[in-house]
Structure 1
Amino acid sequence: MPRFAANLTMMYTEHGFLDRFAAAAADGFRAVEYLFPYAFGKAELTQRLADNGLRQVLFNAPPGDFEAGERGIACLPGREDEFRRGFLELALPYAEALACPRIHLMAGLVPAGVDRAALRATYLENLAWAARQAASAGREVLIEPINTRDIPGFFLNRQDEAHAIVAEVGAPNLKVQMDLYHCQIVEGDLAMKLRRYLPGGNVGHIQIAGVPERHEPDLGEINHPYLFALLDELGYQGHIGCEYRPRAGTSEGLAWFAPYKDSQS
């Protein structure tokens, strides 16, 4: 049976952030993810996880100036030192404190007038460097193709591009974060892509949301129960991140989760 992680950035927003841990645990989740931990102390977050019997499975490295619209800096020439400081001084220490096994490295937006080949070269160099640092700390680093409707201009959009980059870097702890919501919008053919990419071992995390509105996974054009069964068939052992915006109250929208609740760990 699939194991799910509540995304506390998008879910339980009817509560203050630190109260979302208890709310998720009360609804039966045993794992959480969110965008960024850096606004809170490591000890505070560690205590919230421990108090509620939760496992942290994912967060993002510092993305540049998120409030100003930046969505990562890993591919941006001239920002290498900032990327590396953020990874060493923030992302890895938080991952260690929270016992979080994986960190997502957001690629960033394509700047006007910058050659795409230069962006790709910077991206690969930063990924190779981050993978080496993460390996020394026993962590994985992830890259995620994101659709250009939600984030126009994002550098990485397709599964084949992401897997080609992982293969080129060649680091065993660099993997793809496969968000089925983004994949459906850009490419579709989700079942066949899961069958293609999961057996290779290069998918490090999966996320879901209903398409097209990004609500619960019981609404829209994706047959999520079919895909959950397929993930079991393919032997996927990781968590599935629930990165969706509830239509109304979070707890009230969890009917889709009920068949899986008792098998969470």
Structure 2
Amino acid sequence: MSEVDALVCLQKVSRVYGRGEAAAVALDEASLVIGRRSWVAIVGPSGHGKSTLLHLMGGLDRSTSGEIHLDGEELSRLSARRLAAVRARKIGFVFQFFNLLPHLTALENVQTALWFGGYASVQARRKGLDLLDQVGLADRADRLPGQLSGGQQQRVAIARALANDPDLLLLDEPTGNLDSVAEADVLDRLGTLHRQGRTLVMVTHSSAVASRAERIVGVRDGRIDSDATAEQTLLQC
């Protein structure tokens, strides 16, 4: 059994929407530790808390109870400004529907994240082109999203997520809108990022997609109900 440095630690985290009889429990005392440089797939039926878990992990939502630690910081104790700064510096988000700005080119979509990260225009262009080259799209830098295939749009979204060199990539159904060829290509790109040392946490409905990860965590009824790892590890918060 080997010890692995924890990047994310959830301790009895719950998320309840509404109050009284209208209350809906999206996540129920979930505890989970994500090791640095790991690739974790979160699987389970629709509406059972997978995306809620991911959003809480990334500071996009606040927990009702419990603690969420990201790289040693407890997210619930942070001000809105500090939380936004942590997200911008440490986390990259990739979503099913790409969330690209349709009136901006591929390069400009990546540059928007770089500008928010404090890069000057010349630096942002240089790094934006480098990031697009990393996902195989340097020759599509001047194309609008509508001129790109679904797989290419997702690769632009991945390049944008990497803009500020985050430790953690959170991916919510990153292949859910792609055909099998584009899915395989995106998964290969993610595999490369993982081998380069990125920590990936990916929500998916697909067992085939989940099998590309080194660890599969099952979520049902808002609870962690299974946790399969390729190698047994000791994860400490």
> Where is the helix percentage greater, Structure 1 or Structure 2?
1
Q: Same fold by TM-score, threshold 0.5 exceeded?
A: no
Ranked by relative contact order (alpha carbons within 8 Å, sequence separation 6 or more), the top structure is: 2
- TM-score, with structure 1 as normaliser: 0.39
> Where is the strand percentage greater, Structure 1 or Structure 2?
2
